[in-house]
Amino acid sequence: MCVGTFVDAAQAALAIATSALRGRSAYQAPVPSQTGTPDDEFVREMRRQMGGQIQPLPQSQTRWYLSDLELAEYCADTGDLAPCARLMRAARRDGRLAGVLSTRTSGLVRLPKHFRGDADVVAELELGHEDRSITARSVFDEMFPAAELALLAGDGVLCGVGVGELVPVYGRVHPVFVRLDPEFLVYRWNENRWYFRSIAGLLRIDPGDGHWILHTPGGRMSPWQHGLWKCVGRSFIRKEHAQLHKDNYDAKLANPARVATSPQGGSEEQKLAWFKQVMAWGVNTVFALTPGYEVKLLESNGRGWESFDTTITECNTDMIIAIAGQTVTVDGGAGFQNSDIHKTIRADLIKETADGLAATLNTQGLPVYVALRWGVEAIDAKPISVEWDVTPPKDRNAEASAMVTTGNAITVLEAALATSGIALDVRAMCVRYAIPVLGDTNADAVPDAPAVAGEPAPRGLRAVPDLDDELDGDVLDDDDEVAA
C-alpha cells in the first residue's frame, strides 16, 4: 500500500479518523465539490509534466518598503499570505535573523526525540528497517527529514502557519514530508478552510488526510496575526534602508576632495599646468612645491554615519529579542559562553516551538504512517506520539539530584517512623515530588470520556460522534452534543 492509494473513501476515512486528534470543529462547512485535490487525475498529470512539482515558481521581491508591510497586513487579514511569506523569505537573507532562527529551528529538530505509545510502532520509528543494511536512518528520519521540519518550524515562528505534503516514495511504504512555501496559502473565512495555489489551480487542504500537513502554531483562528513577521519585517526593512544609506554615505565620502592652491601672481598657463598635475594624482604621487603652491585633502568631519549604525543596531536587537526572547545569550556577557541551544534561545520559546511541531506531527503525520502500515483502524489501536527533549542539561542534573535527595529522605523517614509504629506513604511521596513509579498513582482521577461511539459520556462531557454520521456529512444536533 502507498500514499497514492488513499483516494476517495479511503482518504476520507483517514481524514475522519484523524479529525478527533486534530480537534476538528463540528461546525465546519461541507467540503466544496468544485475544489480539487492532489489525487485528481488532472492534477497528477500536471505534476508528471512538471517532474512531480506541485508548487508554482516563487516570486521574489528584492526591494521592500514600509508600505509593503502595510499591504501585507491587509492581504493577510483577507486570507492571502503571499506578501507576508515573500517578506519573510527575503528577511532570511539577513545574517542575524538567519543565525538566531536556525538555532531555534534547526537546532531544535536535532535534539533527542522520545516516542510514546504502541511498542511495535515505537520500535519501527526509532530503530528503522528490520534489515539494517538498507539504511542507518530511522523510519521517522526518513519520513520527516530534519531540514524539512526545520523549515516548517521556521514558517510557524515567522508566519504563524506552515504547510507541507507527504509525497509517496517508490520502494517503501512510508512517504516523505516536503515543506511547501506558505506564499501559496489561501484562507477562506466563509468556509474556515485553507487552500493551496498549485500549478493545477486551487487545491483544498484537508490536514491529516494522508497528503497535507498544516502547521498552525499561531493558533487555530487567524494564525498569521500571531506570527513574528510584523515586527521582524519592520526591523528588516528599516535595517535594509539604513544599510543602503550608509553605503551611499560611505561611497560619497570615501574619497576626500583634493584641494590645490597656486600663487596669486602666477600666470594662467602656470595655474593650468599645476591643476593638471593635481588631477593626475595617483598612488605614491610626489609633488615638488615652490613657495605659494600647496596641495591638501578635504575630508568630512561629519557624524552622519552614526545615525545609520544606531538604526542598524536597534533593528538587530529587535529581531534577536523577537526570535530568542533576549539578547544577553546572543551578544554574550561577562563570563558567558554561547555553548548550546538551551543558552542561546529562551527555554520557554524552545518548548513552545517543540510542542507545536510535535502536536502537528502527532495529529497529522504519525497517524498516516500507522494507517499505511497497519490500516486506518489501527490509529486508535496503536496510538503513537513524539516529543523533543528540550530540558536543559543543568535542569537534568538538578532533577537527578532532587530524586537522590528524595530517595534518601524516604529511607530516613521510614526508619524514623518505624520506631513509632507509623508507616510512610511512599506512593504519596512519589506523587508529591514527581518520582516516576509503576502503577496508577491517581486513584481518584476523574474518568475519561468513552472512546467508543454511541456510549454515554460522564456528566459534563461531550459524547463521541458516530463516524457514520460524519461520513454522511451530518452535523451534530443539540440532542447529540451532551449526554445526560
Kindly tell me the sign of the dihedral angle through the C-alpha atoms of 175, 179, 185, 190: positive
> What's the pLDDT tens digit per position in 60-84?
899 999 999 999 999 999 999 999 9
The confidence score (pLDDT) of residue 124 equals: 86
Residue 222 CB neighbours (<10 A): 16
Q: Is the dihedral of CA 115, 118, 123, 129 positive or negative?
A: negative
What is the C-alpha separation between 420 and 415, in angstroms, rounded? Answer: 10
Q: Assign 35 a pLDDT band (cuts: 50, 70, 90).
A: low
Grid-cell match 482518504, residue found: 11
Report whether 349 contacts 101 (CB < 8 A): no
Looking at per-residue pLDDT, the higher value among 157 and 329 belongs to 157
More confident residue, 236 or 13: 236
Q: In terms of Cα–Cα distance, which of 87, 159, 96, 11 is closest to 319? A: 96
Please, are residues 229 and 64 in contact by the beta-carbon 8 Å criterion? no
> Are the C-beta atoms of residues 117 and 386 closer than 8 Å to each other?
no
Task: Indicate whether 199 pLDDT > 60.
Answer: yes
For the stretch 115-167, pLDDT in tens is: 999 888 888 888 755 554 455 678 899 999 999 999 999 999 999 999 999 99
Report whether 272 contacts 279 (CB < 8 A).
no
Per-residue model confidence as pLDDT tens digits over 374-391 = 888 888 888 899 999 887
pLDDT at 446: 42
Residue 390, C-beta contacts closer than 8 angstroms, at least 6 positions apart: 108, 111, 342, 347, 350, 351, 354
Q: What stretches of 50-180 show up as alpha helix (H) in DSSP?
A: 66-77, 82-91, 95-109, 119-127, 139-143, 146-159
Which H or E element spans position 381?
Answer: helix 378-381
- For the ranges 78-92, 128-142, 284-298, the lowest mean pLDDT is seen at 128-142
Pairing of strands 162-167, 176-180: antiparallel
433: confidence class by pLDDT, cuts 50, 70, 90: confident
